[in-house]
Amino acid sequence: MTIDWLADVLRAEGLTVIEEGDWRARGAGGEFAPIGVLWHHTASVSGAADPAPALRAVVDGSDCHALVDYHGTFHLVSANRVQHAGHCGGSGPIPAGDGDAMLIGWRIDYQGETQAMTVAQYTASVVGTAAVLRRLGRDPEFARGHRETGIRSEPDPGLVDLDRMRADVAAALAGRSATPSSASGARRTARSGR
């Protein structure tokens, strides 16, 4: 399976999308039948002057389907299977197994320990996740953070309440605002200006 529909689905929600090169052909090869979305952070410090510091490494490594930059822009990297999730230990409705075969992954370009997501990143991630889950016919529980599915001690995405993020995805799926009014990570970022 391919997710060459990703650009259209995200743009239909009003999100800004940049297609990175021949993203529709890029990928690791192998089985890919996605049932959900997996969130990551990049561990890079992003900012207004350098909104996507991890982009080149992500594109070269084809280790996610999309990167969400500091301004909330989606950079599309691959429409095929990529190596981002590894073995999944199971979380919510996501079964244990090959996470790369089951999950569409995006990396949100922020540091994750001392820097939280910007409001723009959080909002774009919530709206984008809702759009993809709608396309897949899945509910918000099919959105997970890597720290919830990884079999090692994965830290990402950091500085965000994933249950709250899923609740905001549910609101977006129901047609309500995805404004991160109760997203602790997004609030902290808005106050600090990072």
Cα 138 from Cα 115, distance rounded (Å): 30
**Inside any domain, residue 1:** no
pLDDT of 117 higher than 90: yes
**Inside any domain, residue 64:** yes
Structural domains of the chain, count: 1
**Inside any domain, residue 18:** yes
What is the structure's pLDDT at 120? Answer: 98
pLDDT of 111 higher than 70: yes
Lowest mean pLDDT among 31-35, 61-65, 112-116: 61-65
**Angle of CA points 12, 189, 52, to nearest 5°:** 55
What is the structure's pLDDT at 178? Answer: 66
**Inside any domain, residue 174:** yes
**Inside any domain, residue 167:** yes
Residue 154: give its domain's CATH number.
3.40.80.10
What is the structure's pLDDT at 186? Answer: 52
What is the structure's pLDDT at 182? Answer: 43
Instruction: Write down the pTM of the prediction.
Output: 0.93
**Inside any domain, residue 52:** yes
**Inside any domain, residue 114:** yes
Beta-carbon contacts of 141 under 8 Å, excluding residues fewer than 6 positions away, are: 92, 93, 166
What is the phi-psi region of residue 30: left when phi exceeds 0, alpha when psi lies from -120 to 50, beta otherwise?
left
Confidence of residue 176 (pLDDT cuts 50, 70, 90): confident
Domain range enclosing 167: 6-192
Cα 141 from Cα 68, distance rounded (Å): 21
Average pLDDT over residues 76-104: 98
Instruction: Write down the residue that tokens 């997501």 correspond to.
Output: 117
Confidence of residue 15 (pLDDT cuts 50, 70, 90): very high
**Inside any domain, residue 164:** yes
What is the structure's pLDDT at 194? Answer: 30
Confidence of residue 81 (pLDDT cuts 50, 70, 90): very high
